[in-house]
Amino acid sequence: MKFPAKLNRLKFILALILAAILVPQKAQSYMVKYKEDYLKLYHVHYSQLPDDCIENIYWLEQAAKADFANPLYAYTKIENELQWEKYRYLFQMHINLKLIEQHLRLGRIYDKKAAVFYDAPWKDEYLRNLEKAKSCYTAGYTYWKEAELWAEKAGSKKFGFMYITGLQNWEDERERINTGKLSYKNILNRELSRLDKVISDLVAMNSKSY
């Protein structure tokens, strides 16, 4: 049986569409080179596992070391060299704040808020995890010093009343740091002080504790 010409053409077109759908498309390559590129790879999960935090820390560390992209590709519109300078300071400050946050998140995965008497049978495992948490919290001090340094530079008198409106959150972070309203040093001190007490309580436990 011979099909009408129109039907044959329709079948041919449908076959082409189906082939286009089924044949894998070549993925476009994306070069990650500049700070802005690496920061885009940073993302926060609703429930973060250790690997998620470690991945974010890696991307943020790379962002801290990489070069800036051309101002044309900045996270906000840059109109002059002075804005460009302040943008770079704010960027570095923000990266270091995010690194502190991720180390705190990672530390809290291994942390234990308090030691209770029935923890004794598993105290060695708890102590190993608490040492990991302590290492994460301690690392935060280095990033806090960096964040303070860049916030101070971004708040220099040379910028006068310049406010980069496209980076309001970053400007707010700078202001809170420079006025003392935000101090991760205090947060880290508090977490480490509490953690040291938990460690001491666990070390003191024995088989008679429960």
Higher pLDDT, 14 or 119: 119
- Confidence band for 210, pLDDT divided at 50, 70 and 90: low
Q: What is the domain partition of the chain in residue ranges?
A: 32-209
Residue 180 has phi, psi (to 5 degrees) of: 85, 5
* Residue 28 predicted with pLDDT over 60: no
| Neighbour count for residue 171 (Cβ, 10 Å) | 18
Helices (H), 34-122: 35-41, 50-65, 81-110
User: pLDDT above 70 covers what percent of the chain?
Assistant: 84
**Section 185-200 average pLDDT:** 97
* Residue 29 predicted with pLDDT over 80: no
- Confidence band for 137, pLDDT divided at 50, 70 and 90: very high
Is the overall model pTM greater than 0.85, yes or no? no
